[in-house]
Amino acid sequence: MRPRLVGMALVALFAAAPADHGKAEPLPTEIGACSETTITDIGYRLGDPDTGSAISYANGGVQISYDTIPEIHRSQVGDAVKLCLVSLPEDCPPGDDRGKIYSATNLRTGEAWEAPDSQHSCGGA
């Protein structure tokens, strides 16, 4: 029985690992800086179209919005994106760095959008 548990644990580990869909420069860390990455997942904030948009990138970046952003949903997994840091949150509790706002431009469609990296900014819920 033990080998089966180990095998199941490995399956769970690989299932949780992010997919490699291409180019992934590190997330920008300074306002105005940009990096190129690719889209790894497109969905909705709570899995329902009425709850807003969510998108994930190969470099670990995410954007989440309470609004549905049509440009996100016209994108495809694997599309190259230019991701730029627009703003950083201020006066955050130690260790809470939520609330960075990124602009994204889909290099295939030419469409752009802006959204934060979290549903709540630092110090929020």
**Structural domain containing residue 39:** 21-116
Of 80, 87, 45, 79, nearest to 62 (Cα)?
A: 45
Find the CATH number of the domain harbouring 37: 2.40.50
pTM of the model: 0.78
Number of domains composing the chain = 1
Candidates 55, 61, 54, 56; CA nearest to 26 is 61
Q: For residue 1, is it within any domain?
A: no
Kindly report the number of other CB atoms within 10 A of residue 17's CB atom.
8
pLDDT at 120: 81
Place of tokens 């934060």: 116
Confidence (pLDDT) at 9: 30
Q: Is residue 28 part of a domain?
A: yes
With respect to residue 4, please indicate whether it lies within any of the assigned structural domains: no
In a domain? residue 11:
no
What is the reported pLDDT for 14? 29
- DSSP type of residue 12: H
pLDDT (tens, 9 = 90+) of the chain, 125 residues, equals 333 333 333 223 223 334 444 678 999 999 999 999 999 999 999 988 899 999 999 999 999 999 999 999 999 999 999 999 999 998 888 888 889 999 999 999 999 999 999 988 877 76
The pLDDT score that the predictor gives to residue 15 is: 35
